[in-house]
Structure 1
Amino acid sequence: FRAFNDGIAYQFIDNSSKTKTVVNEQMTLTFPDQTSSFFPQEESFYSHNEREYIHKDVSDFATGDFCSLPVMFDTKVAKVLFTESALLDFPGMFLEKSDTTTMNATFPKYVLEAVPNEASNPDRNQIITKEADYIAKVNGKRSYPWRVFIISDDDRTFVESNLVTQLSPESKISDADWIKPGQVAWDWYNGNNIYGVDFEAGVNDNTYKYFIDFASENGIEYVILDEGWTKSTTEILEDNENIDVPGLIEYAKSKNVEIILWVLWKPLYENPEKILQLYASWGAVGIKTDFMQRSDQYVVESYEKIAEIAAKYKLLVDYHGAFKPAGVERMWPNIINYEGVKGNENNKWSSAITPEHNVTLPFVRMAAGPLDFTPGAMINMNKVDYETGAANYAPLFTRPMAFGTRAHQVAMYVVFEAPVQMLCESPTIYYKEQETVDFITQIPTIWDETVVLEGAVSDYIIIARRNGDTWYLGAMTDWTARDFELDLSFLGAGEYKMQSFEDGINAARNAQDYKIVSGAVNQNTKLKIHLSSGGGYSAILTKK
Structure 2
Amino acid sequence: MLLLVAAVWPFAMQAKSYQVKSPSGRVSATVNLDKGATITVALDGHTLLKGANINLLLNDGQAALQGDRGVKAKRTKASHTIDAPFYRQRQFRFEANQLDLLAPTGFGLRVVASNEGVAYRFYTTRTGETVVKNESAQYQFGNNRRAWLSPSTNVKNPFQMAFQNIYHDTTLDTLSTVPSFLPATVDCGQAKVTLLESDAHAYPGMWVEADGKGSLNALFAPYPTRMDYHPWRRMTYVAETANYIATSKGARVYPWRIMQISEKDADMPTANMVYALAEPNRIGDTSWIKPGKVSWDWWSDWNLEGVDFRAGINTNTYLYYIDFAAKHKLEYIILDEGWYDSNKGDIMHPIADVDLPRLISYANKRHVGIILWTVFNVIDEQLEEACSHYAKMGVKGFKVDFLDRNDQTAFEMVDRLADACARHHLVLDLHGIYTPTGLNRTYPNVLNFESVFGMEEVKWGSLKNNHPLYDVTFPFIRMQSGSVDFTPGALRNGTRKDWLASYTKPMSQGTRCHQAAEYVVYDSPLTMLSDVPTSYEREPRFTSFLASLPTVFDKTTVVEGQMGSHIVTLRQKGNIYYIGGLTNWDERDVTINLNFLPAGQAFKATLLTDGINADRNANDHRFEARQVSAADSLTIHMASGGGFVVVIAPATR
TM range (shorter): over 0.9
Aligned-partner residue type, residue 9 of structure 1: A
In the other structure, the counterpart of 2:447 is 336
1:4 to 98, 103, 114: 114
**For residues 38 and 491 of structure 1, what CA distance do their matches in structure 2 show?**
35
Aligned-partner residue type, residue 335 of structure 2: L
Q: Tell me by how many angstroms 1:124 deviates.
A: 2.3
2:376 to 240, 250, 265: 265
In the other structure, the counterpart of 2:221 is 108
In the other structure, the counterpart of 1:457 is 563
In the other structure, the counterpart of 2:535 is 429
In the other structure, the counterpart of 1:532 is 639
**For residues 216 and 344 of structure 1, what CA distance do their matches in structure 2 show?**
24
In the TM superposition, what whole-angstrom CA distance separates every residue of 1:242-289 from its partner, at most 9, and x where no partner exists?
A: 111111011011111110000111211112000111111110000001
In the other structure, the counterpart of 2:209 is 96
Aligned-partner residue type, residue 209 of structure 1: L
1:24 to 109, 113, 134: 134
Residues 34 and 57 in structure 1, CA contact (< 8 A), matched pair in contact too? yes
In the other structure, the counterpart of 1:370 is 483
* Alignment pair present for 1:55 and 2:169: yes
Aligned-partner residue type, residue 304 of structure 1: D
* Alignment pair present for 1:516 and 2:595: no
Taking structure 1 as reference, are residues 502 and 100 closer, same or farther at Cα in structure 2, changes over 3 Å only? same
In the TM superposition, what whole-angstrom CA distance separates every residue of 1:133-187 from its partner, at most 9, and x where no partner exists?
A: 1101111111111111111220011112111110011001211100011100100
**For residues 166 and 113 of structure 1, what CA distance do their matches in structure 2 show?**
35
In the other structure, the counterpart of 2:26 is none
Taking structure 1 as reference, are residues 253 and 122 closer, same or farther at Cα in structure 2, changes over 3 Å only? closer
Q: TM-score, normalised by structure 1?
A: 0.96
Residues 175 and 212 in structure 2, CA contact (< 8 A), matched pair in contact too? no
Question: 1:76-225 counterparts in 2 under 5 A?
Answer: 76-118=189-231, 121=232, 123-124=234-235, 126=237, 128-225=238-335
In the TM superposition, what whole-angstrom CA distance separates every residue of 1:200-251 from its partner, at most 9, and x where no partner exists?
A: 0011110000100000011101000001111444011011011111110110
Residues 592 and 633 in structure 2, CA contact (< 8 A), matched pair in contact too? yes
**For residues 232 and 174 of structure 1, what CA distance do their matches in structure 2 show?**
34
Residues 231 and 241 in structure 1, CA contact (< 8 A), matched pair in contact too? no
Normalized per residue, the structure richer in strand is 2
* Alignment pair present for 1:46 and 2:156: no
2:526 to 420, 423, 426: 420
**For residues 368 and 334 of structure 2, what CA distance do their matches in structure 1 show?**
10
Q: Tell me by how many angstroms 1:541 deviates.
A: 0.7
In the other structure, the counterpart of 2:23 is none
Aligned-partner residue type, residue 520 of structure 2: V
1:479 to 575, 585, 588: 585
In the other structure, the counterpart of 2:17 is none
Q: What SS does the aligned partner of 1:363 have?
A: helix
**For residues 249 and 612 of structure 2, what CA distance do their matches in structure 1 show?**
63
In the other structure, the counterpart of 1:389 is none
* Alignment pair present for 1:66 and 2:176: no
Aligned-partner residue type, residue 459 of structure 2: K
Aligned-partner residue type, residue 472 of structure 2: V
In the TM superposition, what whole-angstrom CA distance separates every residue of 1:106-127 from its partner, at most 9, and x where no partner exists?
A: 1000000121234xx362263x
In the other structure, the counterpart of 2:458 is 347
**For residues 575 and 471 of structure 2, what CA distance do their matches in structure 1 show?**
28
The higher relative CO (CA closer than 8 Å, separation ≥ 6) is in: 1
After TM superposition, the runs of 4+ consecutive aligned structure 1 residues lying more than 4 A away are none
Residues 611 and 622 in structure 2, CA contact (< 8 A), matched pair in contact too? yes
* Alignment pair present for 1:468 and 2:563: no
Q: Tell me by how many angstroms 1:527 deviates.
A: 1.2
Taking structure 1 as reference, are residues 353 and 342 closer, same or farther at Cα in structure 2, changes over 3 Å only? farther
**For residues 194 and 214 of structure 1, what CA distance do their matches in structure 2 show?**
12
Q: What SS does the aligned partner of 2:596 have?
A: helix
Aligned-partner residue type, residue 506 of structure 1: N
**For residues 152 and 198 of structure 1, what CA distance do their matches in structure 2 show?**
55
Aligned-partner residue type, residue 283 of structure 1: G
1:306 to 384, 393, 417: 417
Residues 107 and 135 in structure 1, CA contact (< 8 A), matched pair in contact too? yes
Q: Tell me by how many angstroms 1:360 deviates.
A: 0.7
Q: TM-score, normalised by structure 2?
A: 0.80
Q: What SS does the aligned partner of 2:135 have?
A: coil
2:396 to 276, 285, 309: 285
Aligned-partner residue type, residue 417 of structure 1: D
**For residues 280 and 561 of structure 2, what CA distance do their matches in structure 1 show?**
31
Q: Which deviates the most, 350-359 or 202-211?
A: 350-359
**For residues 96 and 254 of structure 1, what CA distance do their matches in structure 2 show?**
53
**For residues 247 and 140 of structure 1, what CA distance do their matches in structure 2 show?**
49
In the other structure, the counterpart of 2:427 is 316
Backbone CA RMSD of aligned residues? 1.2
**For residues 424 and 217 of structure 2, what CA distance do their matches in structure 1 show?**
41
In the other structure, the counterpart of 1:381 is 494
- Give the greater-gyration-radius structure (CA): 2
Q: What SS does the aligned partner of 1:104 have?
A: strand
Q: What SS does the aligned partner of 1:364 have?
A: helix
**For residues 142 and 353 of structure 1, what CA distance do their matches in structure 2 show?**
43
Residues 346 and 353 in structure 1, CA contact (< 8 A), matched pair in contact too? no
**For residues 373 and 243 of structure 1, what CA distance do their matches in structure 2 show?**
27
Aligned-partner residue type, residue 163 of structure 1: M
In the other structure, the counterpart of 1:446 is 552
Aligned-partner residue type, residue 153 of structure 1: E
Residues 184 and 195 in structure 2, CA contact (< 8 A), matched pair in contact too? yes
**For residues 384 and 334 of structure 1, what CA distance do their matches in structure 2 show?**
42
**For residues 205 and 280 of structure 1, what CA distance do their matches in structure 2 show?**
20
Q: Tell me by how many angstroms 1:341 deviates.
A: 0.6
Q: What SS does the aligned partner of 2:324 have?
A: helix
Q: What SS does the aligned partner of 1:38 have?
A: strand
In the other structure, the counterpart of 1:35 is 145
**For residues 65 and 242 of structure 1, what CA distance do their matches in structure 2 show?**
44
**For residues 72 and 139 of structure 1, what CA distance do their matches in structure 2 show?**
34
Q: Structure 2: which 5+ runs fail to align?
A: 1-110
In the TM superposition, what whole-angstrom CA distance separates every residue of 1:493-521 from its partner, at most 9, and x where no partner exists?
A: 22211101100000001000000110122
Taking structure 1 as reference, are residues 184 and 122 closer, same or farther at Cα in structure 2, changes over 3 Å only? closer
**For residues 492 and 154 of structure 1, what CA distance do their matches in structure 2 show?**
26
**For residues 203 and 331 of structure 1, what CA distance do their matches in structure 2 show?**
35
In the other structure, the counterpart of 1:390 is none
Q: What SS does the aligned partner of 2:326 have?
A: helix
**For residues 272 and 596 of structure 2, what CA distance do their matches in structure 1 show?**
20
In the other structure, the counterpart of 2:72 is none
Q: What SS does the aligned partner of 2:516 have?
A: helix
In the TM superposition, what whole-angstrom CA distance separates every residue of 1:339-397 from its partner, at most 9, and x where no partner exists?
A: 011100111111235100111111011110000000101100001224xxxxxx3x211
**For residues 530 and 429 of structure 1, what CA distance do their matches in structure 2 show?**
27
Q: What SS does the aligned partner of 1:106 have?
A: strand
